[in-house]
């Protein structure tokens, strides 16, 4: 057990989860110049025409407003996916809205896409400067995850397209890759956009807008839920090939509460929201295998959900993931967790 894990078990886990996140993220940013003096040696990978220092990245949700990209890269993440960013700023759902299920090494969130909005995030990224993967400028590969503004009716297709289109127009010029999020359970109606008859026009629109505003082609991916039926997972895979997507992120959080170790009263007390962490491992792995079997070897698949150990990471790569992402295990494992996983993955694959 690391020093951080001891501190987490005996004190940090008692702090309100959202407050602990903000305090921890502030400490990461403050300590970044020191950590950056010790670069991580790793085996690079190429996906979507981009060069990644290694497969492991940080999933969307941690850095919603793109305030700590390079600090997170210094910790050892080869890519950082910021967001989810919406076209308009929004406060998200009422607090408390972030909870830990420690016995399950899991987190439940109903944040509701709280973020400063695409204009503010785009302005911040413009000041940072754009680093295309493969350039000499240090820093992780940057993914930008975009979602629907809550007040936009999900059944108004024109409004949905305009909403995602505005985010794309502002953010695509700053992205190494772009992810369309239609799978969070915390925005009412959002998951209905995963139906292929809704998803196809949305992805085509985002692709057109991104191409119109970017000097170089920005890879486009979609992030799907683990709660899709197998047939729907395969339908998304077929759509991805049909519309020429660059990849699929599998998977987002789940609304399922099956098989948890935490006491039923604690789970009920937490309430609604997306569950992430160790309980998601089996289904996320299954979805990844379904996708790889359907799309063949060329489409980039990002495995995320329940990756806690180097063995989990290696299992995901062997199942067909080109890239990996984590969030919840980072919360439980602390600032040294990314480097430990990258080293373990490198050693295992070697």
Kindly give the interhelix angle for 196-213 and 230-243, rounded to the nearest 10 degrees.
30
Tens digit of each residue's pLDDT (9 = 90 or more) over 54-69: 999 999 999 999 999 9
If you search the block for the tokens 């700053």, which residue do you land on?
174
Tens digit of each residue's pLDDT (9 = 90 or more) over 163-206: 999 999 999 999 999 999 988 887 878 888 888 888 999 999 99
163 phi and psi, to 5 degrees? Answer: -65, -50
CA–CA dist 133, 50 (Å, integer): 5
Tens digit of each residue's pLDDT (9 = 90 or more) over 314-330: 999 999 999 999 999 99
**Mapped to the 3 state alphabet, what secondary structure does 232-253 carry?**
HHHHHHHHHHHHCCCEEEECCC
CA–CA dist 211, 208 (Å, integer): 5
CA–CA dist 132, 139 (Å, integer): 10
CA–CA dist 263, 196 (Å, integer): 38
* CA-to-CA dists, residue 19 to 6, 15, 72, 97, angstroms: 19, 7, 18, 11
Tell me the whole-structure pTM to 2 decimals. Answer: 0.94
**Average pLDDT of the segment spanning 15-33:** 94
Q: What is the pLDDT of residue 6?
A: 76
Q: What is the pLDDT of residue 136?
A: 45
Binding residues: 60-64, 84, 109-113, 145, 181, 186, 223, 251-253, 277, 306, 327-328
* CA-to-CA dists, residue 42 to 55, 139, 349, angstroms: 9, 14, 12
Strand pairing class (274-277; 45-47):
unpaired
Residue spans per domain, the chain:
3-349
**Confidence at 138, pLDDT banded by 50, 70, 90:** low
Binding residues for FMN: 60-64, 84, 145, 181, 223, 251, 277, 306, 327-328
| Marked catalytic residue, from 42, 133, 183, 184 | 184
CATH of 3-349, one of 3.40.30.10, 3.90.79.10, 3.20.20.70, 3.40.50.1980: 3.20.20.70
CA–CA dist 124, 178 (Å, integer): 17
């Amino acid at each position: 057990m690391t020093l951080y894990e001891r501190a987490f078990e005996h004190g940090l886990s008692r702090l309100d989860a959202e407050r602990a996140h903000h305090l921890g993220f502030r400490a990461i940013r403050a300590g970044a110049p020191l950590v950056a003096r010790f670069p991580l040696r790793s085996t690079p990978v190429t996906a979507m025409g981009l060069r990644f220092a290694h497969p492991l990245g940080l999933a969307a949700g941690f850095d919603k407003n793109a305030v700590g990209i390079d600090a997170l890269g210094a910790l050892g993440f080869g890519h950082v996916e910021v967001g989810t960013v919406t076209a308009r700023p929004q406060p998200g759902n009422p607090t408390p809205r972030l909870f830990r299920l420690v016995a399950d090494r899991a987190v439940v969130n109903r944040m509701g896409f709280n973020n400063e909005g695409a204009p503010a995030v785009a302005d911040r990224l413009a000041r940072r400067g754009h680093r295309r993967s493969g350039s000499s400028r240090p820093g992780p590969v940057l993914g930008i995850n975009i979602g629907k503004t809550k007040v936009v009716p999900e059944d108004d297709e024109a409004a949905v397209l305009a909403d995602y289109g505005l985010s794309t127009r502002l953010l695509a010029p700053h992205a190494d890759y772009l992810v369309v999020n239609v799978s969070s359970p915390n925005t009412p109606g959002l998951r209905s956009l995963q139906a292929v008859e809704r998803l196809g026009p949305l992805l085509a629109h985002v692709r057109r807008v991104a191409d119109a505003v970017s000097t170089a082609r920005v890879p486009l991916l979609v992030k799907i839920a683990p709660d899709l039926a197998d047939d729907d997972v395969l339908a998304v895979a077929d759509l991805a090939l049909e519309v020429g997507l660059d990849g699929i992120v599998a998977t987002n959080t789940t609304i399922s509460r099956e098989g948890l170790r935490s006491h039923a009263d604690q789970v009920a007390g937490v309430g609604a929201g997306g569950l992430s962490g160790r309980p998601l491992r089996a289904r996320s792995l299954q979805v990844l295998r379904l996708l790889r079997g359907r799309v063949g070897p060329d489409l980039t698949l990002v495995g995320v959900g329940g990756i806690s150990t180097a063995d989990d990471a290696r299992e995901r790569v062997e199942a067909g993931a080109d890239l990996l992402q984590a969030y919840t295990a980072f919360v439980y494992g602390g600032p040294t967790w990314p480097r430990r996983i990258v080293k373990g993955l490198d050693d295992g694959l070697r």
